[in-house]
């Protein structure tokens, strides 16, 4: 019996060549709409879908393949006598190869036209893919133009085994699941509601050399539904980005975006080690670098601005993994490109940051809103902070959101003087800053904390260091102890009402 293939694709990459190769192998072609026209114009024999279904396309193409003559030809079991008798009685012909990809729902989403979005919800395409993938034992289902060449080679060599069929079926089911996830998320966003099912679809961009460590496999995936800060970063120079590079770059540019123009973030191992907002990129970089010139070695610098020659010459002096910025001047690129392994990355800081965070546990998934909590200034002490101190307090509290908990940030003049991260006790985070920067002058500085003080020991150490104002969320049953200590030392303290744990 003659082999028959149904071709119906939105992405017409290589479809003419595939159609010709199938014809050369004696495969009978059936097709729909624009795909039919493309194959016909290539002067190849092809049967229009209406000739198969004995029914015209209707409702502006919404219904064309939803027919027993299509799905019956795909779904019947070739080794089942009852199925064979049914298709013979109803004159349903077999369809042995299904080559389908789907309406470009993602492109319609990007356009934003509601009517066009709805019309690009493919119905017939996913139905055919699911039918063919379900009956993969008898039907080959192909969704990706990159698989056309292998299909033809295997057909030529009669090399169609079950493992190959299962691999194609896996791709088909993953495609329809991914496609449906985009549609589900669109309607969740449209309605502002969630069902008990939460769907995410990720599309692979590339394999990475390894994960956090050489023994771990890793890949980079894109979330097409989200236009986040990492959506269209552009690596314009340097080595291939690694798993750790991407992982570290993300919080660096998020904090940079939050702090605004001319912000510079120096980051190492997921935590900021120096942050500043100065009069220009050079000024900001020097202040951020001076906070911890040791830890930034081998780290990442993110710049919410344009790196010029003056800034690039200072950055060039040390080993950095990545410099990420809104842009680079030609003169800066000339300086920085002298280091062939240094990755230079352009970031669109105008993109909106993601609204949700996911953490995959061992068989469970945690999903939460991103920490966009805005800090308030609620005075709780006798002394009120000055206007300059308030600016520094809010700056410190923005930075502390990105420091691993338990976290403390000490700042003055819109620059960090120390970031204490990842300690089991909050006062230890401040001790870390004091002990690491023994000769640093902290007089007149402010302190930001990611969570409340369970005891007054942090206030006591801050006073010893010369810190004069504190911002913290409050909420401890012993808040009054810390307030009383601040009043005793003539320090000001405000409650922000927003906790900023980052674990």
Catalytic positions, written as ranges = 134, 269
Q: What values do phi and psi take at 226, rounded to 5?
A: -115, 130
From start to end of 177-227, where are the E strands?
A: 203-208, 218-222
Is residue 492 a contact partner of residue 468, using CB atoms and an 8 Å limit? yes
- Pairing type for strands 446-449 and 469-472 reads parallel
Which residues, other chains included, contact 263 with Cβ-Cβ below 8 Å and sequence gap of 6+? 255, 256, 275, 276, 277, 284, 303, 304, 305
Angle at 223 between CA 222 and CA 228, to 5 degrees: 100
CA distances from 337 to 61, 239, 265, 328 (A): 53, 11, 21, 11
Is residue 458 a contact partner of residue 480, using CB atoms and an 8 Å limit? no
Half-sphere exposure of 78 (CA within 13 A, CB side): 13
* Residue located via tokens 């080794």: 79
CA distances from 379 to 466, 493, 497 (A): 20, 6, 11
Is residue 272 a contact partner of residue 256, using CB atoms and an 8 Å limit? no
Residue 67 to residue 65: CA distance in whole angstroms: 5
- Pairing type for strands 416-420 and 343-346 reads unpaired
Residue 182 to residue 195: CA distance in whole angstroms: 14
DSSP state of 11: S
Residue 464 to residue 369: CA distance in whole angstroms: 38
Residue 285 to residue 308: CA distance in whole angstroms: 11
Residue 142 to residue 153: CA distance in whole angstroms: 14
| End-to-end alpha carbon distance in the chain | 63
E strand or H helix that includes residue 457? helix 457-465
Burial class (CB in 10 A: 0-12, 13-18, 19+), 169: buried
Is residue 414 a contact partner of residue 436, using CB atoms and an 8 Å limit? no
């Amino acid at each position: 019996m003659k082999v028959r293939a149904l071709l119906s694709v939105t992405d017409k990459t290589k479809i003419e060549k595939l159609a010709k190769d199938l014809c050369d192998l004696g495969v009978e072609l059936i097709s729909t709409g624009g795909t039919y026209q493309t194959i016909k114009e290539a002067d190849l024999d092809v049967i229009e879908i209406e000739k198969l279904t004995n029914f015209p396309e209707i409702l502006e193409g919404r219904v064309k393949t939803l027919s027993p003559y299509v799905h019956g030809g795909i779904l019947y079991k070739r080794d089942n006598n009852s199925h064979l008798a049914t298709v013979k009685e109803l004159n349903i012909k077999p369809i042995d190869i299904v080559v389908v990809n789907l309406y470009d729902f993602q492109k319609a989403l990007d356009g934003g036209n509601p009517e066009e979005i709805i019309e690009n919800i493919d119905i017939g395409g996913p139905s055919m893919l699911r039918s063919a993938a379900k009956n993969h034992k008898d039907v080959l289902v192909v969704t990706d133009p990159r698989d056309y060449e292998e299909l033809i080679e295997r057909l030529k060599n009669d090399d169609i085994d079950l493992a190959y069929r299962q691999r194609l079926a896996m791709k088909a089911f993953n495609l329809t699941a991914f496609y449906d996830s985009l549609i589900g998320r669109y309607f969740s966003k449209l309605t502002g509601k969630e069902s008990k099912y939460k769907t995410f679809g990720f599309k692979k961009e590339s394999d990475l050399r390894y994960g956090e460590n050489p023994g771990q496999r890793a890949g980079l995936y894109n979330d097409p539904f989200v236009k986040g800060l990492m959506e269209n970063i552009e690596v314009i120079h340097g080595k291939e980005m690694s798993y750790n590079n991407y992982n570290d770059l993300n919080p660096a540019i998020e904090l940079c975006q939050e702090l605004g123009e001319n912000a510079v973030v120096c980051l190492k191992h997921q935590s900021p080690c120096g942050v500043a907002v100065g009069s220009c990129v050079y000024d900001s970089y020097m202040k951020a670098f001076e906070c911890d010139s040791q830890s930034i070695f081998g780290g990442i610098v993110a710049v919410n601005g344009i790196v010029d020659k003056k800034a690039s010459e200072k950055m060039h002096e040390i080993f950095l993994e990545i410099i990420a910025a809104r842009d680079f001047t030609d003169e800066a690129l000339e300086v920085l490109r002298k280091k062939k392994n240094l990755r230079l990355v352009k970031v669109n800081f105008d993109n909106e940051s993601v609204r949700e965070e996911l953490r995959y546990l061992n068989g469970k998934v945690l999903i939460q809103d991103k920490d966009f909590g805005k800090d308030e200034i609620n005075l709780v002490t006798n002394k009120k902070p000055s206007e300059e101190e308030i600016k520094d307090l809010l700056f410190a509290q923005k930075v502390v959101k990105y420091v691993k908990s338990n976290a403390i940030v000490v700042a003055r003049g819109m620059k960090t003087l120390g970031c204490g991260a990842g300690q089991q006790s909050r006062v230890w985070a401040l001790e870390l800053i004091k002990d690491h920067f023994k000769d640093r002058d902290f007089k007149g500085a402010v302190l930001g904390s990611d969570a409340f003080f369970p005891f007054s020991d942090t206030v006591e150490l801050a006073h010893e260091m010369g810190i004069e104002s504190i911002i913290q969320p409050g909420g401890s049953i012993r808040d009054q102890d810390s307030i009383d200590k601040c009043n005793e030392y003539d320090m000001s303290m405000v409650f922000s009402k927003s906790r900023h744990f980052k674990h």
